[in-house]
Amino acid sequence: MNVSIFTCFGIREATVHCLHKAFFIISLGFATRNFEAYLACGVNMVKSAPPPSPSLLFIAAGVALLLVLPCYGWKTSLYVRKLEKTVDMPLNADVFEVPPGYNAPQQVHITQGDHVGKGVIVSWVTPNEPGSSQVIYWKGNSTWKNKAEGKVTTYTYFNYTSGYIHHCTIHGLEYDTKYYYEVGIGLTVRQFWFVTPPEVGPDIPYTFGLIGDLGQTYDSNRTLTHYEKNPKKGQTLLFVGDLSYADDYPDHDNNRWDTWGRFIERSAAFQPWIWTAGNHEIDFAPELGETKPFKPFTHRYRTPFKASDSTAPFWYSIKRGPAYIIVLSSYSPYAIYTPQYLWLQAEFPKVNRTETPWLIVLMHSPLYNSYNYHYMEGETMRVMYETWFVQNKVDVIFAGHVHAYERSERVSNIAYDIVNGLCTPVSNPSAPVYITIGDGGNIEGLANNMTEPQPKYSAFREASFGHAIFDIKNRTHAHFSWHRNQDGYAVEADSLWFYNRYWHPVEEPGSI
């Protein structure tokens, strides 16, 4: 469904909001009987002024009408939801169930295993003994079975010892093909499948899902279910960081990393989840003797960073169908001369929009955020990288961290040079749209306190849990939709047609 009743309601709601604003301005002018008040929106009221003439009233009404017209999209949703305490599902919840059989593989998940989509990294955990790190795989229409050998690792964290964590990279797969695969040995073999992406190219439809800050609450389960049941089937999930929230438990109880791995298996074993590191992956706890950042995350979740000449798993890139996806780390150094900075600087010239029209960036901490949570935390990365994002016409930047939804206008704030005073976001057709999708539903609850008034760069914001879909149609058009958990699976609570910044850089409907 491209245009839902909620989208229509959103347009009407935004218009009503703007009409109220215009009516307020006219009323204010009458009340103060001062024409300047009309134009200054009531900021500079003068005590004694002559009554306005009919012609002045006519001009004021015209000004008010002009204020109405560009108001589309500058909206804080008035959707009313029940705010309940968000609690983690208990350890005996069915979604955490351990698969039957001695040493049965669990927490199975896959991610892209190379730069172009012909490789897959299969990961899983065997709880009792190492078992085998081998993956058996075959094409759906073939009986010829292939083998790939992986490696096993373990780690300790304070008083916790992990199970045996296996990672096996499969190379040389055919594009656009369904493969079955098996992990485990003896009586505890488990079978799954995945579909490889189409060959990298400009006019191939491909559908990405988006989830962030998921955690493992009842709301997290609703988010994942809504993603799975969405009729616009996501083929690959872009995860914008903050996975298990195990670090919210005493001693960062790593058993909650295991429960999270079992929880997401129902999706992540069948389609790649593309990982972004969030602050809840840092697990830096010197009081516990744990001083190596990202220890559980790096042992459990792999990324194909070497394939994009990165030197660390936290920043890397992949091509997938029509998209070039750059993943950045908000929690690794990104200042000038740092490895991440130098890597990103070298990365942009490698993007060929004729091959991959859609340039997508993932990070955890949003650069534009009008909630009173984590306010300005993305500011230093914005200062460092926003100019590159605009120069290279990034289509969209997805982030999480703030536990709510927000979509920006196409704006930039790159003119400031310390002395010129130009430090306000301005409309910029070369700028990305910034989308915060940190509303997966974790234990820390919703971010429902917003800065007021809503900044003009903020097109739509709402504190509800949900997920999003970025549905690429061809080199010029992609349809974005945000789906809140309270609605039916097909309902789009916010949506926008994206026009590609390289191939079709015209103003999108709904932009300022």
As annotated, the active-site residues are 374
Q: Name which position in 278, 313, 425, 510 contacts Fe ion (CB under 5 A).
A: 278
Q: Which range in 126-134, 271-279, 299-307, 348-356 contacts Fe ion by CB under 5 A?
A: 271-279
Kindly state the smallest distance separating residue 403's Cβ from Fe ion, in Å: 8
Distance CA 167, CA 265 (A): 15
Interface with Fe ion (CB under 5 A), residue from 118, 262, 401, 403? 401
Closest residue to Fe ion: CB criterion: 401
Task: Give min distance, CB of 365 to Fe ion, in A.
Answer: 7
The least CB distance from residue 165 to Fe ion, in Å, is: 24
Q: Which is nearer to Fe ion, 278 or 313 (CB)?
A: 278
| 219 versus 242: smaller Cβ distance to Fe ion | 242
CA atoms within 13 Å, Cβ hemisphere of 168: 22
> What is the distance between the alpha carbons of residues 209 and 490, in angstroms, rounded to a whole number?
14
Stretch that binds Fe ion, among 200-208, 217-225, 238-246, 385-393 (CB under 5 A): 238-246
Is 242 an interacting residue with respect to Fe ion (CB under 5 A)? yes
Count residues binding Fe ion (CB under 5 A): 4
- Contact call for residues 252 and 281 (beta carbons, < 8 A): no
Select from 234-242, 247-255, 426-434, 497-505 the region that touches Fe ion (CB under 5 A). 234-242
Whole-number minimum distance, CB 366 to Fe ion, in Å?
10
Sign of the Cα pseudo-torsion (428, 466, 373, 279, in order): negative
CA separation, residue 73 to residues 44, 430, 508 (Å): 28, 19, 11
Task: Write out the two tokens for 137.
Answer: 């795989």
The SS3 of residue 152 is strand
Q: Is 439 in the site for Fe ion (CB under 5 A)?
A: no
Q: CB 364 → Fe ion: shortest distance, Å? A: 6
406-433: b (≥16 Cβ within 10 Å) or e: bbbbbbbbbeeeeeeeeeebeeeeebbb
**Cis status of the peptide bond prior to 453, with omega within 30 of 0:** yes
User: Residue 281: exposed, middle, or buried by beta-carbon count in 10 A (0-12, 13-18, 19+)?
Assistant: buried
Q: Can residue 279 be called a binding residue for Fe ion (CB under 5 A)?
A: yes
Which of the ranges 30-38, 70-78, 274-282, 310-318 carries the binding residues for Fe ion, by CB under 5 A? 274-282
Write out the binding residues for Fe ion, residues 45-64 only, by CB under 5 A.
none
Which one, 279 or 310, has the nearer CB to Fe ion? Answer: 279
Distance CA 215, CA 279 (A): 13
User: Which chain residues interact with Fe ion by CB under 5 A?
Assistant: 242, 278-279, 401
